[in-house]
Structure 1
């Protein structure tokens, strides 16, 4: 069972290494592909929108297949469709078929997501950190591919080899996944339903809407950069090597960002502060890239942009959304990624129209997208309550209890002051101290008000003890 689990995890992470190739492979070869398809750069850029179309079409379908026919089935669909895309795209010379293959890549992405995220939760209980690691593997793929493309260009080798490298990795991994018994690898964790974050209606509504918008902007800001930074850099007379290297620096920044964000979130309770800060850095970095004509400054900004925009912000936003509505995680995850799919579809169309006008700065629109993302971060900072510091030791936990006990003592004193008033009214009305109906009402109310239903019996016992002592106190009063 342990061997199957390790092989499965290795297979899932390898798929997302390949997915990192797949996310930027069309853009990294876009000029060559445009000639290969005998089309213009504008038409070729429209082909990229097919990825978003494929994701939009497939997310709900693949989610159903994953739940109904199994994670492995959906995983294999994703791997096989991606394999077809990688092998067929460099061989194809038809624009129409190229668009269909782009749609197929979007379907593959949806299938991998629909199978992988549930599987990571079922393999062990550390699904969140594993999900962040997926982002790291994507970034590794995005870092490696531009180097491969640059090497092929300089050596005057066939561009299609950049497609066949991920295809070979995927083929080997397919043999691995086919021979894994997924049921043996699973270790389903029981997750207790909670009532979610307690927010007022205005804050809850604003944050929910904002996070769905962020599902779009967090994807759009990265797609805009990764699809056009190389072409943009060449237009402002950067060297060919630097134009490609900017994307590698972005990917390197992303990998660094993922690692540091995970470490910070494990050690400190600064989620909303970190989210706001990184979005601000993202806006500053993309503005610098857009306005700078200095290669060194742009290189530093590209690294910082990857560090911030692609360092796990999307995962933080999604986890925040799920913490608000924990009973509808599957539906909300799908909806969140659908907004990302809309970005995959719309950004290539928008940028394809912009590139027609050479007087417009191609990267300027990405500043606007980053600005909207920062606005959502401000909403999150305003709406979310201050996070409770996580206990890291027995002493910390006991200190927490001491603080809560002090609050309870204060509340108990207030309660006994109210008991004094009750006793006076009972004496004036010659009412018995013990009132069983009233006690039943109190205990019923305790059951209704207790959010964690596993604690109902314990809370009722505690309140019953308090009421017993209240009666003793009343009996002692003159």
Structure 2
């Protein structure tokens, strides 16, 4: 049977395709932006942190508004606000005004998440996990295309602002498109039935101060790892590996291709061959190995390959963390999701500021040494979670027996 909300879903995915561009657009245009506002790279990293601040400050209220007024108003308004941000940045005459626009982008991002993730769950009730993981795929696709667009503008000596104006125009068109579509009505979940199913999955009740704390740490480190890479990979390529400005920006394309391939593989393999709890342990291990190679081998072709693996190993971890925390603490799904999302938002604020200060006082290489410690923290938290999850979950044969009894 054909899903009547496929157009609605496509509009939501278009928003995240464009958000993939927004996520790296300030870092990818550091040169012209620093000249425009007479600042430095640290100043731009503070602007990127302001996006995280906007998310953190409004994540709670966005969820309440989404439940009260529905998904459509938040999604439509957030797309319009993101378009305003994209138009405003290249036209901002001052750093202070640009800061206001970046806060707006963070608020928009929060509203978009609060409307889209539950919206996709309602559009695809039989496969909500795959629907939400595909959000990351569209984000990665957008982040792959933006550097190509910037390279085209640079080679043809065109105004860098077109890289902002083009996605802004698509956002505004998508606002009109989404405004004409219907969204599923919000339905109350069957808590009793869900509770019975969840209880058959665990030997004992999960403990938030144990498993929950580990997941909060992973929520922070997963966001921190891809934030550092998206901001500083081009600068590292230019200053340490001796790459040209255009070639260094293309590193973000290879990074995004890795992310895209990773998410597509996860969409196919999850719960069939591999569990989310294993992925969030394995991926930061790959990240740490990749970072070690980046720090020791300063050859452009090696950096290009490692950029791909960085993208591959940092993709989808946050989404899988949300999946696990809502599985373990199903009685308070909204609350625990908000806590992990807040940790993610905190990382998106703290890491641009921290790495900006490191760049100012120590150098680009020191940033990636710092990134190694973040990866190690993520591995430690994931190892503990894997151990606890193994103790909590019942043998597969016992699960099947319980299901057959029902």
Q: What TM-score does the superposition give when structure 2 sets the normalisation length?
A: 0.91
Q: Supply the distance in 2 between the matched residues of 1:302 and 1:44 (Cα, whole angstroms).
A: 22
After superposition, give the CA deviation of every residue in 1:261-302 in whole Å (9 maximum; x if it has no partner).
222214224443333222211111122223320112212211
Greater relative contact order: 1 or 2 (C-alpha under 8 angstroms, separation 6 or more)?
2
After superposition, give the CA deviation of every residue in 1:294-324 in whole Å (9 maximum; x if it has no partner).
11221221111111111x2222221111111
After superposition, give the CA deviation of every residue in 1:159-201 in whole Å (9 maximum; x if it has no partner).
00000111111112111101112247x7887563224553657
Going from structure 1 to structure 2, the CA distance change for 1:199 and 1:205 (only over 3 Å counts) comes to farther
Going from structure 1 to structure 2, the CA distance change for 1:268 and 1:87 (only over 3 Å counts) comes to same
Equivalent of 2:340 in 324, 336, 339: 336
Q: Contact conserved, 1:210 with 1:376, CA < 8 A, in 2?
A: yes
Q: For 1:338-417, list aligned pairs within 5 A.
A: 338-359=342-363, 361=365, 362-385=367-390, 404=401
Q: Supply the distance in 2 between the matched residues of 1:207 and 1:188 (Cα, whole angstroms).
A: 27
Greater mean alpha carbon deviation, residues 339-348 or residues 234-243: 234-243
Q: Supply the distance in 1 between the matched residues of 2:95 and 2:345 (Cα, whole angstroms).
A: 22
User: Match of 2:246?
Assistant: 241
Q: For 1:205-224, list aligned pairs within 5 A.
A: 205-224=209-228
Gaps of 5+ in 1: 391-399, 406-451, 460-478
User: Match of 1:419?
Assistant: none
Q: For 1:35-434, list aligned pairs within 5 A.
A: 35-125=35-125, 126-183=127-184, 192-194=193-195, 195-196=198-199, 198=202, 205-236=209-240, 237-310=242-315, 312-359=316-363, 361=365, 362-385=367-390, 404=401
Q: Supply the distance in 2 between the matched residues of 1:59 and 1:203 (Cα, whole angstroms).
A: 25
Q: CA RMSD in A?
A: 2.6
Q: Say how many residue pairs are matched.
A: 398
Greater mean alpha carbon deviation, residues 219-228 or residues 191-200: 191-200
Residue 40 of structure 1, CA deviation: 2.5
SS in 2 for 1:293: coil
After superposition, give the CA deviation of every residue in 1:86-114 in whole Å (9 maximum; x if it has no partner).
11111112111111111111011100000
User: Match of 2:26?
Assistant: 26
Q: Supply the distance in 1 between the matched residues of 2:41 and 2:338 (Cα, whole angstroms).
A: 32
Q: Contact conserved, 1:19 with 1:141, CA < 8 A, in 2?
A: yes
Q: Contact conserved, 1:121 with 1:189, CA < 8 A, in 2?
A: no
Q: Contact conserved, 2:66 with 2:74, CA < 8 A, in 1?
A: yes
Q: Contact conserved, 2:203 with 2:394, CA < 8 A, in 1?
A: no
Q: Supply the distance in 2 between the matched residues of 1:389 and 1:245 (Cα, whole angstroms).
A: 46
Greater mean alpha carbon deviation, residues 5-14 or residues 202-211: 202-211
Q: Contact conserved, 1:268 with 1:389, CA < 8 A, in 2?
A: no
Greater mean alpha carbon deviation, residues 377-386 or residues 21-30: 377-386
Q: What TM-score does the superposition give when structure 1 sets the normalisation length?
A: 0.78
SS in 1 for 2:360: coil
Q: Contact conserved, 2:206 with 2:328, CA < 8 A, in 1?
A: no
Q: Supply the distance in 2 between the matched residues of 1:37 and 1:389 (Cα, whole angstroms).
A: 60
Greater mean alpha carbon deviation, residues 339-348 or residues 202-211: 202-211
